[in-house]
């Protein structure tokens, strides 16, 4: 605790010590605390309300601060001062006690790691498996000469802005286009950050319709939930500006990219992005590598056809999945094997226990897979499909 501010979009806007000074009648000379201060959470500690300073907490990275205000009255007007001071983890515990510090939720923001597939292809992911970490979805940057194509800009504007920061640090060109491979929020909501900067947002027409129908209520629910609402405080539904139903070829600063419809499969409006000259295919959620697949909106037969089409790509092709590490054809074969094993287990569960226990069977069959939260839905879908 206390070191996450380096990559936290709230805390990196705050110095170790920030002060303000306001004088009545001299407003033009006021010095205010930075706007990021208002995104800190006030901490109330029972029995310590009268202390001159009070704690503040960053919900993104878990850093604690002390806040103190002083007010003085003078004949020619009042004067207000504030001080905000960043605390180390040891300082927070010494002041507030372990019980108070440990009662706060774990930091929401998960650092993004980068995997370089090719000099033109970089994959960013939290590697997580919950909502706060975007369920570990992959964002894929295709780096051309002087411009970038971004595929799947993650679950919230907070993460999209971190993507923008990391791309700038790499010297990447501006993001001119964004592709969302499907309508699920972990692959699309961050698009608004790049759209505001002028990027074109590309999606399948069916995917765009589902974004418009489903995301307003879903994001409103997340904004009102503590503590995850902090991630979604400025989230808006993804709003594609270019809809596709047929293959679309693009040039990304000299890198050829083909946006190719491949659904209904994982969802009714799936896209994949082929980079034929690089031997790379960005699969979206056609492939989950080391993660249980989400079958919430799946067409199981279409999904299998989509995977079989991937296996027709040339030997040596690198596949970048929607979740998990990139790999070659073995990760596509592993996804097909998951479906076959799940079908077998669904049949056994139905024969042995009238359909009950499928989630437990899948956990035993795939003990190393992440994202077990999707299995109850998967079990219902698989039970209907057997």
Residue in 335, 340, 377 with CA at minimum distance from that of residue 358: 377
277 has a pLDDT exceeding 80: yes
3-state SS class at 240:
coil
Look at residue 6 in the predicted model and tell me its pLDDT. Answer: 60
How do strand 255-261 and strand 271-275 relate by DSSP bridges? antiparallel
Sequence ranges of the domains in the chain: 4-103, 113-382
| CATH fold label, 113-382 | Metallo-beta-lactamase; Chain A (3.60.15)
Res. 2 pLDDT band, cuts 50 70 90: very low
Query: What does the pLDDT look like over 95-111, one tens digit per residue?
Result: 999 999 999 888 888 99
Residue in 149, 146, 118 with CA at minimum distance from that of residue 250: 149
Average pLDDT, the chain: 93
Query: What does the pLDDT look like over 173-225, one tens digit per residue?
Result: 999 999 999 999 999 999 999 999 999 999 999 999 999 999 999 999 999 99
Look at residue 77 in the predicted model and tell me its pLDDT. Answer: 62
3-state SS class at 315:
coil
Distance (Å, rounded) from C-alpha 266 to C-alpha 306? 9
Q: Dig out the tokens for 103 from the structure.
A: 């009662």
Res. 151 pLDDT band, cuts 50 70 90: very high
Look at residue 68 in the predicted model and tell me its pLDDT. Answer: 95
How many percent of the chain have pLDDT more than 70? 94
382 upstream amide cis, omega within 30 of 0: no
How many percent of the chain have pLDDT more than 90? 81
36 has a pLDDT exceeding 80: yes
Distance (Å, rounded) from C-alpha 219 to C-alpha 245? 26
Look at residue 1 in the predicted model and tell me its pLDDT. Answer: 43
Distance from the Cα of residue 200 to its chain's centroid:
20
Res. 352 pLDDT band, cuts 50 70 90: confident
CA dist 155 → 94, 215, 273 (Å): 36, 12, 19
Look at residue 383 in the predicted model and tell me its pLDDT. Answer: 85
Q: Dig out the tokens for 247 from the structure.
A: 């293959």
145 has a pLDDT exceeding 60: yes
Lowest mean pLDDT among 29-43, 286-300, 369-383: 29-43
Look at residue 384 in the predicted model and tell me its pLDDT. Answer: 79
pTM: 0.89
H-run or E-run covering 29: none
């Amino acid at each position: 605790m206390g070191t996450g501010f380096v990559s936290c979009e709230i805390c990196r806007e705050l110095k170790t010590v920030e002060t303000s000074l306001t004088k009545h009648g001299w407003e033009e000379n006021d010095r205010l605390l930075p706007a990021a201060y208002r995104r800190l959470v006030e901490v109330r500690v029972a029995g310590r309300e009268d202390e001159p300073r009070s704690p503040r907490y960053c919900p993104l990275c878990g850093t604690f601060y002390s806040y103190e205000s002083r007010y003085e009255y003078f004949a020619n007007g009042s004067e207000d001062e504030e001080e905000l001071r960043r605390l180390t983890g040891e300082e927070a515990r010494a002041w507030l006690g372990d019980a108070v510090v440990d009662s706060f939720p774990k930091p929401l923001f998960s650092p993004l790691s980068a995997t370089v597939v090719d000099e033109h292809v970089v994959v960013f992911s939290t590697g997580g498996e919950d909502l706060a970490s975007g369920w570990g979805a992959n964002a894929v940057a295709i780096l051309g000469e002087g411009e970038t194509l971004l595929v799947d800009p993650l679950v919230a504007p907070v993460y999209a802005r971190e993507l923008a920061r990391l791309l700038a640090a790499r010297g990447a060109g501006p993001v001119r286009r964004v592709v969302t491979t499907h309508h699920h929020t972990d692959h699309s909501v961050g698009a608004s950050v790049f759209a505001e900067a002028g990027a074109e947002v590309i999606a399948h027409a069916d995917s765009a319709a589902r974004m418009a129908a489903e995301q307003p209520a879903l994001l409103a629910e997340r904004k009102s939930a503590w503590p995850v609402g902090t991630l979604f405080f400025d989230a808006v539904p993804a709003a594609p500006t270019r809809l596709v139903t047929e293959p679309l070829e693009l040039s990304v600063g000299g890198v050829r990219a083909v946006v190719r419809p491949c659904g209904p499969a994982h969802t009714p409006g799936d896209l994949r992005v082929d980079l034929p000259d690089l031997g790379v295919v960005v699969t979206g959620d056609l492939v989950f590598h080391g993660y249980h697949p989400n079958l919430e909106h799946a067409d199981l037969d279409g999904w299998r056809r989509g995977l079989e089409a991937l296996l027709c790509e040339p030997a040596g092709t690198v596949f970048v999945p929607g979740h998990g590490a990139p790999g070659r054809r073995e990760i596509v074969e592993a996804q097909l094997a998951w479906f076959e094993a799940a079908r077998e287990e669904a049949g056994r569960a139905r024969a042995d226990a009238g359909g009950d226990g499928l989630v437990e069977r899948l956990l035993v069959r795939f003990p190393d897979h992440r994202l077990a939260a999707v299995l109850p839905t998967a079990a219902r879908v698989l039970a209907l499909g057997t």
